[in-house]
């Protein structure tokens, strides 16, 4: 069975993020679905959605990992938008007394590592979104399994990823799913909180969700 391409698949972690995007979306051909929190569940659920669309003869044209994120102070403000130039699995590796070693520097066969710990955004999809969202900050977005919550971890991440602009928990998993389906990928985030010592009172989820609604116009 074959059919017309389904348009973009936009995946968020939670329903509130998906609803915020749908509220600003002019294009009904874009599918927006919540797929869960963290790279494993988000990656597995996205891979399943892509495979089901493919076997139904209506493959998606690209994948966007979207939602709220923590922003690196001095790089992006709370309430600001981020377009990820790459999704980086920032805590996939090994600790050592000399510091963190990324998994792709541990001497494992490259075929076991998929795209490695850093997967680049599709240049055309990224350029199209940036053209529609010129105020967005461009840079690598880290994917972490644990929300950074101390000054020491924040400093360590900054040292290891001096170009990074934000961290969230799903992008790398979704990027792997898109890569396995040979589809363009990009990450779109709005900033709900500064990365740093844990301070839940500083989180501005409502502002970040409103910014997602504004950003959704780019997904047409
Ligand atoms: O610490 C808490 O009490 C707490 C309560 C509710 C939710 C959380 C989250 O960490 C939500 C994680 C969720 O949001 C994205 N996100 C937003 N900011 C960050 C961040 O600074 N670092 C990592 N992830 C963040 C993430 O993509 C998840 O989907 C905590």
Q: How far apart are CA 163 and CA 170, in angstroms?
A: 19
Predicted pLDDT at 112? 86
**CB 168 less than 6 A from any atom of ligand 1:** yes
Q: What tokens does 36 get? A: 């869960």
Radius of gyration of the chain (CA): 17
CA angle 127, 133, 135 (to 5 degrees): 115
CB of 67 within 6 A of ligand 1: the answer is yes
Candidates 98, 67, 108; CA nearest to 84 is 67
In 3D space, the residue among 188, 202, 215, 214 whose CA is nearest the CA of residue 73 turns out to be: 202
Mutate to test the pocket of ligand 1, among 20, 68, 157 (most ligand atoms within 8 A of CB): 68
Tokens read off for 191: 């900033």
Residue 1 has pLDDT above 50, yes or no: no
All structural domains of the chain: 8-219 (3.40.50.1580)
Break the chain down into helix, strand, coil percent, rounded to 5: 35, 25, 40
The predicted-structure confidence for 71-94, as pLDDT tens digits, reads as follows: 999 999 999 999 999 999 999 999
User: Given a cut of 70, is residue 65 above it in pLDDT?
Assistant: yes
Reading the block at residue 206, the tokens are 């409502």
The Cα–Cα gap between 124 and 140 comes to 16
Residue 212 Cβ contacting ligand 1 at under 6 Å? no
Q: Is 200 in the pocket of ligand 1 (CB under 6 A)?
A: yes
Per-residue pLDDT tens for 17-29? 999 999 999 877 8
- Ligand 1, atom nearest to 171 Cα: 27
| Kind and range of the H or E run holding 118 | strand 118-120
Average pLDDT in the chain: 95
What are the tokens at 184? 């363009």
Would the pTM of this model clear 0.90, i.e. be above it?
Answer: yes
Q: Say if ligand 1 is within 6 A of residue 13 CB.
A: yes
pLDDT digits (tens, 9 = 90+) for 156-203: 999 999 999 999 999 999 999 999 999 999 999 999 999 999 999 999
- Among 21, 90, 147, name the best residue to mutate to test ligand 1's pocket (greatest count of ligand atoms within 8 A of Cβ): 147
CA 27 – CA 22 distance, rounded (Å): 9
Burial of 218 from C-beta contacts in 10 A (0-12 / 13-18 / 19+): buried
């Amino acid at each position: 069975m074959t059919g017309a391409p389904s348009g973009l698949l936009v995946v968020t972690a939670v329903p509130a993020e998906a609803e915020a995007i749908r509220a600003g979306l002019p294009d009904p051909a874009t599918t927006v679905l919540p797929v869960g929190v963290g790279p494993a569940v988000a990656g597995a659920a996205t891979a399943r959605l892509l495979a089901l669309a493919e076997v139904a003869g209506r493959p998606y044209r690209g994948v966007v990992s979207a939602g709220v994120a923590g922003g690196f102070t001095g790089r992006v403000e709370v309430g600001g938008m981020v377009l990820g130039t790459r999704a980086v699995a920032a805590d996939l590796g090994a600790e050592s007394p000399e510091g963190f070693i990324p998994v792709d520097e541990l001497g494992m066969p490259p075929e076991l590592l998929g795209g490695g710990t850093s997967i680049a955004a599709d240049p055309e999809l990224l350029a199209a979104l940036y053209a529609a969202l010129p105020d967005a900050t461009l840079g690598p977005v880290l994917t972490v399994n644990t929300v950074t919550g101390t000054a020491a971890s924040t400093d360590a991440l900054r040292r290891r990823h001096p170009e990074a602009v934000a961290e969230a928990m799903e992008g790398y998993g979704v990027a792997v799913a898109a890569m396995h389906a040979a589809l363009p990928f990009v990450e779109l985030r709005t900033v709900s909180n500064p990365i740093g010592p844990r301070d839940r009172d500083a989180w501005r989820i409502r502002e970040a969700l409103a910014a997602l609604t504004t950003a959704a116009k780019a997904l047409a």
